[in-house]
């Protein structure tokens, strides 16, 4: 259960786990714990709702506080404040802080040193679909110089195509693979390509079109993974226009892609900020900037450096994530034996 969004009343079952959703400070849902009876509570960087802290005090659950960012932790000013804050974090069984500064702040607030299990932020990514070596689309696109524009909003189609047209002036063999946020936008895509004199084909017809095609498109969401695997650079849509449903950039990062995006990062703002901080992502404002960055990244080394940084960012929290998983499973196993 993490802080920040509305509570989802109907839980999602996944094997033996129930994901009840996110809890906000407006929750005050008195029967939540009675109804769902969670065995483990994992809180991400606060603020912490009173409902959660009051339940954690009962010590009926394994409680873990992770991603404790130092800027959100209280600094000790007066002794009375120190004693007041002590109980908030001391009631957790284990704490994972962002860095040494966060750990120091908790020590100053009298947190037992033994409760701090690790330092560093957790990272998470949806596991990509398995890659099939017999996939005809992937085999036919191998070896081409490609960039991908994924989940493109209606208002972003012209934006992306104009950038691609500029890229072709410097690198005429460059190929764009594009997926639309709504399959009904196919006719609009065709109109824009016709007006901009860009040769467009469905990805399924790649064998028929050959080298003449400059833009391939797909209406199948599962093709996004194929495009990511073949593209060293990915532009995420719904980040220029007012966003509809956005996609998790950590998926592309896990596939070693450099990432470009617009200013409207929505619910993935922290992920984009983290990727930018390590040089794995770049924010652009218009078609000219997108084309300019793509031309810079046309150099294989620069694109590869972004992809390596993205993969490092994804794996940087693996050790702490593994620790939390181990703590949870050991706790659940002990409960079963009792």
* Residue 334, SS3 per DSSP: helix
Question: Which candidate, 286, 183, 186, 164, places its Cα nearest to that of 233?
Answer: 164
pLDDT digits (tens, 9 = 90+) for 292-313: 999 888 766 788 899 999 988 8
Looking at per-residue confidence, does 186 or 134 come out higher?
186
Contact, 73 vs 93, CB < 8 A? no
Above 90 in pLDDT, residue 334?
Answer: no
Q: How much of the chain, in percent, has pLDDT values that exceed 70? A: 75
Above 70 in pLDDT, residue 338?
Answer: no
Q: What would the mean pLDDT of 262-275 be, rounded to a whole number? A: 89
Q: What would the mean pLDDT of 197-201 be, rounded to a whole number? A: 92
Residues paired with residue 236 on neighbouring β-strands, in sequence order: 150, 261
Above 60 in pLDDT, residue 17?
Answer: no
Computed over every residue of the chain, the mean pLDDT equals: 79
Instruction: Tell me whether strands 215-218 and 175-180 are parallel, antiparallel or unpaired.
Output: parallel
Domains of the chain as residue ranges with CATH: 12-122+317-337 (3.40.50), 136-315 (3.40.50.2000)
| Distance from chain centroid for Cα 215 | 27
Contact, 63 vs 91, CB < 8 A? yes
Give the neighbor-by-neighbor strand order of the sheet with 258-261.
Answer: 200-202, 215-218, 175-180, 146-152, 233-236, 258-261, 281-283
Upstream peptide bond of 289 is cis (omega within 30 degrees of 0): no
Q: What would the mean pLDDT of 26-42 be, rounded to a whole number? A: 67
pTM over 0.95: no
Contact, 280 vs 309, CB < 8 A? yes
Strands (E), 113-152: 116-119, 146-152
Looking at per-residue confidence, does 118 or 196 come out higher?
196
Instruction: Tell me whether strands 215-218 and 116-119 are parallel, antiparallel or unpaired.
Output: unpaired
Residues paired with residue 10 on neighbouring β-strands, in sequence order: none
Q: Which of 142-146, 186-190, 205-209 has the highest mean pLDDT?
A: 186-190
Q: How much of the chain, in percent, has pLDDT values that exceed 90? A: 28
Above 80 in pLDDT, residue 174?
Answer: yes
Looking at per-residue confidence, does 1 or 229 come out higher?
229
Looking at per-residue confidence, does 109 or 190 come out higher?
190
Residues paired with residue 100 on neighbouring β-strands, in sequence order: none
Q: What is the pLDDT of residue 2?
A: 41
Residue position matching structure tokens 């500064």: 101
Above 60 in pLDDT, residue 210?
Answer: no
Q: What would the mean pLDDT of 59-76 be, rounded to a whole number? A: 78
Q: What is the pLDDT of residue 148?
A: 95
Above 50 in pLDDT, residue 12?
Answer: no
Cα-based distances in Å from 279 to 276, 303, 308, 312: 5, 11, 9, 11
């Amino acid at each position: 259960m993490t802080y920040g969004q509305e509570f989802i009343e109907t839980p999602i079952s996944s094997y033996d786990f129930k994901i009840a959703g996110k809890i906000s400070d407006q929750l005050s849902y008195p029967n939540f714990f009675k109804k769902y009876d969670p065995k483990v509570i994992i809180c991400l960087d606060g603020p912490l709702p009173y409902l959660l802290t009051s339940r954690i005090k009962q010590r009926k659950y394994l409680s873990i506080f992770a991603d404790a960012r130092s800027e959100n932790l209280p600094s000790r000013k007066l002794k009375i404040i120190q004693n007041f804050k002590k109980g908030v974090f001391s009631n957790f069984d284990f704490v994972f802080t962002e860095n040494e500064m966060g750990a120091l702040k908790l020590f100053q607030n009298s947190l037992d040193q033994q409760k701090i299990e690790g330092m560093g932020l957790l990272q998470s990514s949806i596991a990509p679909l398995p890659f099939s070596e017999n996939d005809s689309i992937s085999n036919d696109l191998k070896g081409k110089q490609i960039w991908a524009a994924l989940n493109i909003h209606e208002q972003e189609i012209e934006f992306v195509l104009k950038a691609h047209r500029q890229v072709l002036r410097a690198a005429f063999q460059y190929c764009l693979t594009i997926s639309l946020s709504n399959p009904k936008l196919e006719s609009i895509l065709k109109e824009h390509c016709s007006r901009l004199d860009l040769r467009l084909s469905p990805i399924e017809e790649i064998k028929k079109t050959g080298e003449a095609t400059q833009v391939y498109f797909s209406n199948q969401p599962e093709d996004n993974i194929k495009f990511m695997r073949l593209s060293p650079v990915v532009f995420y849509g719904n980040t220029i226009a007012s966003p509809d449903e956005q996609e998790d950039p950590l998926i592309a990062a896990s596939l070693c892609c450099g990432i470009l995006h617009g200013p409207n990062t929505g619910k993935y703002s922290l992920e984009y900020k983290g990727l930018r901080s390590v040089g794995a992502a770049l924010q652009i404002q218009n078609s000219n900037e997108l084309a300019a960055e793509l031309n810079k990244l046309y150099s294989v080394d620069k694109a590869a450096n972004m992809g390596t940084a993205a993969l490092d960012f994804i794996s940087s929290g693996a050790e702490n994530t593994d620790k939390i998983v181990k703590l949870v499973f050991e706790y659940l196993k002990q409960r079963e034996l009792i």
